[in-house]
Structure 1
Amino acid sequence: MKKIILKDLDTYVYLDSSNIRNALRVVGVKLDFIKLYKYLNTTYKHLKTVKYFEGADVKNKKAAKQFKLLEKTGYKMHTLVRKSYQNKAKYRSFKCGDCDKKNTVEILKKSKTLKSNVDVYLCSELMGDLLNVNRPFHIIIFSCDGDFSEMIENMLKKNKHAHITVIATPFTKHNNYLSIRLKQLERVDRYYLANIINIKDKIKK
């Protein structure tokens, strides 16, 4: 059986931008997305697409300008407007040991969370793009998010031609960002987990 060389295959890249940016920040690396695109373009000779996914604030003009620059570089931009969710304040009652009176204390303040469900968007886009490809091909996912593990397993089961590499920060005992679910997938055939730190000098600011 002929050995598959991943760099020789048609390659499709899906970038969970906020996740991989934050993962690298934890280990002291500031990611340069333009350098990353150039690295991908020179490393994979059959690079078909690089899709960039990020939750976006419509009022952030600086981010909008950056997105346009990335699009000119070659990224296929997929931004999703962040929705605001209110988190209610949480209270707990404590009984006074001296007088038996109950006191209610606020233990978590009311707050607002911005979410965009980028992982769902990325999964549906990837499956729609590649589920029915009938020749050997290579998917690269930049993320440490374990929510992608089921989608990865499904793709590998349903398409025998797919090879999937997750590029992420390494699994470590302290300050770990990589999900154990992505680490455990290493037992699955045609799945590969690569350490992004090995290419940090080519993609950092």
Structure 2
Amino acid sequence: MSSPLVASAAYILFHYVLDDYRRPPRFWESDIYKKRRPNSLVLELKSQELSGHYKNFMRMSSSNFEYLYNLILPAIQKQDTRFRKAISAQDKLALTLRFLADQIYPKSQAIINGLKDNVKLPNNPQEWLKIADAFDELWNFPHCIGAVDGKHVVLQAPVNSGTEFYNYKGNFSIVLFILADANYQIKFVDVGC
């Protein structure tokens, strides 16, 4: 083998090795994840609440998070053992909410149990059956207990709201969610969730 060929091969090898060594990372990671101590995810996020990072991660305000956390704390809290420290209940809830926000997945029973008193729907089976009978009689749609729809209500951006009300359609809006019975009577409304 000739020396120019060996020198060329060595140059190419060193060039690729050094180039790979100097290449920046291929994925981005926020500073709060790099500096995070164990069981401090929520504390780190709260420190960045003004930047919008908290709401982007949780998909809710800190006051709503605290309300939900206090409702379900007994169901998700674990004790430390001699072998390892338990993940904090706040971090468990934060990661669960993030996971549920990122993809459709079966809901956590603790969240459902915690929020069941906030939903003001018919209180007994007879009221539900009455709604189902109306859907069957008026619309020939059996076993239906409600019609659900949501709408982006366009609004002028509130002062200092940043991108909080900015939607995928390219304007500012707030979501209106409604559950109605067969006679167009509204049974449940939620705005801005």
Instruction: Tell me the TM-score normalized by structure 1.
Output: 0.22
Please state which structure has a larger fraction of its residues in helix: 2
Which structure ranks higher in relative contact order (CA pairs < 8 Å, sequence separation ≥ 6)? 1
Instruction: Tell me the TM-score normalized by structure 2.
Output: 0.23
Please state which structure has a larger fraction of its residues in strand: 1
Larger Rg belongs to: 2
